[in-house]
Amino acid sequence: MNIIKTLSQNKVAMVGFAVLVMLILVAVLGPYVYEGTPWKMVQRPFIPPFENSSYLLGTDILGRDVLAGLIYGTRISLLVSFVSTVIALLIGIPLGAYAGYFGGWVDEVLMRFTEIFQTVPSFALAIVLVAIFEPSVYSITGAIALVSWPPVARLVRGEFLRLRNQEYVLAAKLNGQSNRNIILKEILPNSLSPIIVLASLMVATAILLESSLAFLGLGDPEIMSWGYMIGSSRTVIRQAWWLSFIPGVAIAVTVLALNLLGEGLNDALNPKLSGKRES
């Protein structure tokens, strides 16, 4: 409750939270409330925003409804980013936990394995993975997850190295608790604060990765996304600048909201910052 109270007092974080909630509502309810479709040609191409009341954000290069594309793109961008982040956490947390808790050769093997994925830049590796498995929402989600888990593993490892010799952990060992129970019930709950903060930032990074892949033509050709909208209109940016500008603003606002929320969570969950604030 103290964390929620502290977070609610952070106006900047609450702005980010409100924007994120609004985007989630658009992603969930938008396609059902708004009758437009992002693929159907509904009017002549290049209608500017607010010129036609039936198509508030105008039409694109093929005469498709830009607002419909933006709404459907919200669903895909958020879905890919959230799912890929969850997968990355499911990979990174166990590896980091075992490496930090057991140490020794287990730590060496798992960390060397982690470094293999960090020798290649994340974006370059994501491009290679998507190209190998052919562009689809599944390959994009999987590729983003595979390039996102190493920082999670390293963070969790550091937290477990810090906490594994705490008194409550030693007491649990003396009581005969299994390593599995100690990891899941004693150490991991006390390591969640930095993991939650990192996860919020990972979602923002995943949105940028998905948009970048779609911009390069490696998005799912059957699914509308913000990156696809920017990529398909980059050749007409002088003639119809708004076609790239509108989805670009959507990406920027979403990433900014997630970063603001992440900073607010960091302030609320970091005991040192909380102590300074109380004093």
- pLDDT(137) > 80: yes
More confident residue, 274 or 101: 101
Residue 119 is predicted with a pLDDT of 86
**CA angle 32-57-36, nearest 5°?**
25
pLDDT single digits (tens) 142-198:
999 999 999 999 999 999 999 988 898 989 888 888 999 999 988 998 888 889 889
CA distance 76 to 98: 33
CA distance 109 to 98: 11
Contacts (Cβ under 8 Å, ≥6 apart) of 183: 97, 98, 101, 160
Q: What are the beta bridge partners of residue 41?
A: 64
Sign of torsion over alpha carbons 271, 272, 277, 279: positive
Phi, psi of 51 (to 5 degrees): -85, -35
CA distance 87 to 214: 20
Residue 250's identity, in one-letter code, is A
Q: Mind listing the domains of the chain with CATH numbers?
A: 2-45+56-278 (1.10.3720.10)
Residue 279 is predicted with a pLDDT of 42
Residues in the chain: 279
pLDDT single digits (tens) 197-244:
899 899 999 999 999 998 888 888 888 889 889 888 888 888 889 999
Residue 239 is predicted with a pLDDT of 87
Burial 52-73 (b: 16+ CB within 10 A, else e): beebebbbbeebbbbbbbbbbb
pTM of structure: 0.89
| Residue indicated by tokens 């779609």 | 214
Residue 198 is predicted with a pLDDT of 92
Residue 33's identity, in one-letter code, is V
- pLDDT(9) > 90: no
CA distance 66 to 49: 9
| Residue indicated by tokens 């007491």 | 171
Residue 5 is predicted with a pLDDT of 75
pLDDT single digits (tens) 31-82:
888 887 888 888 899 999 998 888 899 999 989 999 999 999 999 889 999 9
Quote the tokens at residue 82.
Answer: 């959230």
| Residue indicated by tokens 């920027």 | 252
Give percent above pLDDT 70 in the chain.
95
Of the pLDDT bands very low, low, confident and very high (cuts 50, 70, 90), residue 1 is low
Contacts (Cβ under 8 Å, ≥6 apart) of 10: 264, 267, 268
- pLDDT(101) > 90: yes
